Structure 1
């Protein structure tokens, strides 16, 4: 069986032109490989038990998973963005933890794991993105998925002290140890992640730099994300670029940045 690259994120591109940081970062990698991108379907529906829905095939297959209106409130607005996001950004004062939001978060991850397990082969590479899916690899391992699974966090890794805001059910070390590779943006993020494992009972720091916990071995590395420098430079060298830019940018220009 040929190897597939399976990318999982909360957001999934629905149009042909890539936009947004995550979409642009992954577009080329998926286009160049036998890629499948799985993300939340843009239309919410209470019938969440349906199989993954195809939302596009060019230049790679895009599949959407359904979430209900209630899960949008609990999994997405609730636990992901009102608990995990503030913790990762050292804003414990903004945390709004509830049993309902935590249960919704785990329910969505467990259901998505079952859907991915149906299409993932042992030789595939599963690449999970961001805080919406911290426990996804653990759920996949429980289902017997043996494929390589990587994780990349697009926001800061939480400090050890801030993780105390989570409930006992939130097993961050166990979640991360289920991955083969955890990618973070900076060396400072890696240091905070290693601090978490050093404080975890049973975790073993191996000589090769990996961490062993509960019979799983994970590597933690920093991978600063950036733009396609060569692609931008080539576009700037196009013969029509100076004239086109001059016409488009004539007069006063106001530049704004989000986030």
Structure 2
């Protein structure tokens, strides 16, 4: 059996104690098997040696490399998160392209390829993940790699008219064609990629979504990522009996709880969500004093100006809403910007009457699936889900909303709060079947079966 080699921008080895805020780290961490090699950035910046550091834990080998300050600023802060991230989330107004940052991005991908190649066995399967490493496969090919190499994009892909705005869009598209398999979470994202291939590379994909470019047959698939629902449900049930959940229950004084948990990122639609909660209190005054919203927004990418601006915007919104509606014994929005452990979040999900997952664009969004898994079968809460999250393709029994319409989201929260128990149970049971069926192992096996073919 060939060894699996995972390549991602960031590798968090088990000895790191900080909570994993990203869905990729959680999902891949659940699906790792002994014998796997995981390669990527250590999270450290320095000017030391360029040889990978090797760590062994539970049968998995972790190989990490450092970045210099210049590489970090150009590759990560600059091109990855200043150009690619906004582009692939349809935010052309946030697109900041600088050619030297793109050169730095290509340079780091070449550095990763050069550091990884000596660690590979001849029959390894290489699986590269996400937008930071689009050119990594091409760089490996140019160094002589003849391995089966696959790529998975965990965020949306865009149609030709959006990709066309990026000056280096076509070279990046060509880089994706160096992989044997390119995967996405939804059919919409896969179709957008194939439309770009057709528009910019003058290639006509076959009916199965495969095509030949520069002598290589590239196959595509949609492969929705999942969670270990059984494990998460058990964590939630245990946490619900713990001290933290007891504290939050006591602080609510029998009020309903709505919960959102996201990275602090403009793609998550947090200002829109707070405005929708404002509309709920304005239009449905019967909920004033009877519901609190807990929003966990773990800080991320704090070196990027857009994220600093977003945090200031959210601070102002929360202050304004709480200032207008608070009573001496009730605050509408509880807002925190530090990450919580999965254990804590699982317990909070379980006691929350409403889960609010309303990104403006998202590749999948595993919070939606975790919220479903955490619920009690006897008294489940209601999931409100953005139509622009990849998870909406699967979780159709949630209350599906357009996050740009504050009134629609407010109406959905009101519907969730007034929904009778039989309907809540019926919706949750259907969601449960979907969430339990889509495991990290299924996600991994589906992709690797195609890569091995």
TM score, norm. by length of structure 2 = 0.52
TM-fit CA distance, 1:70: 0.8
TM score, norm. by length of structure 1 = 0.88
What residue is the counterpart of 1:40 in the other structure? Answer: 41
* Number of residue pairs matched by the alignment: 253
For structure 2, which runs of at least 5 residues remain unmatched after alignment?
A: 264-453
What residue is the counterpart of 1:251 in the other structure? Answer: 250
Where 2:64 maps in the other structure, the secondary structure is strand
> 1:170 and 1:109, CA in 2 relative to 1: closer, same or farther beyond 3 A?
farther
TM-fit CA distance, 1:243: 3.6
What residue is the counterpart of 1:153 in the other structure? Answer: 153
Where 1:258 maps in the other structure, the secondary structure is strand
> 1:83 and 1:241, CA in 2 relative to 1: closer, same or farther beyond 3 A?
closer
Separation (CA, whole Å) in 1 of partners of 2:92 and 2:169: 18
What residue is the counterpart of 1:26 in the other structure? Answer: 28
Contact 1:204 1:213 in 2 (8 A): no
| Deviations, residues 157-187 of structure 1 (Å, cap 9, x unaligned) | 1221122222258513311111111111111
TM-fit CA distance, 1:46: 2.5
| Deviations, residues 114-161 of structure 1 (Å, cap 9, x unaligned) | 111111123111111110000111111111111111111111112211
Contact 1:206 1:212 in 2 (8 A): no
What residue is the counterpart of 1:4 in the other structure? Answer: 3
TM-fit CA distance, 1:225: 1.6
Bigger Rg, structure 1 or 2: 2
How do residues 71-150 of structure 1 correspond to structure 2 at under 5 angstroms? 71-150=71-150
More helix by share: 2
Separation (CA, whole Å) in 1 of partners of 2:154 and 2:47: 29
Contact 2:40 2:112 in 1 (8 A): no
Where 1:25 maps in the other structure, the secondary structure is helix
Separation (CA, whole Å) in 1 of partners of 2:57 and 2:96: 40
Contact 2:170 2:200 in 1 (8 A): no
Aligned residues: CA RMSD? 2.3
> 1:169 and 1:234, CA in 2 relative to 1: closer, same or farther beyond 3 A?
closer
For structure 1, which runs of at least 5 residues remain unmatched after alignment?
A: none
> 1:5 and 1:213, CA in 2 relative to 1: closer, same or farther beyond 3 A?
same
Contact 1:8 1:128 in 2 (8 A): yes
Where 2:43 maps in the other structure, the secondary structure is coil
Contact 2:30 2:228 in 1 (8 A): no
Separation (CA, whole Å) in 1 of partners of 2:213 and 2:130: 21
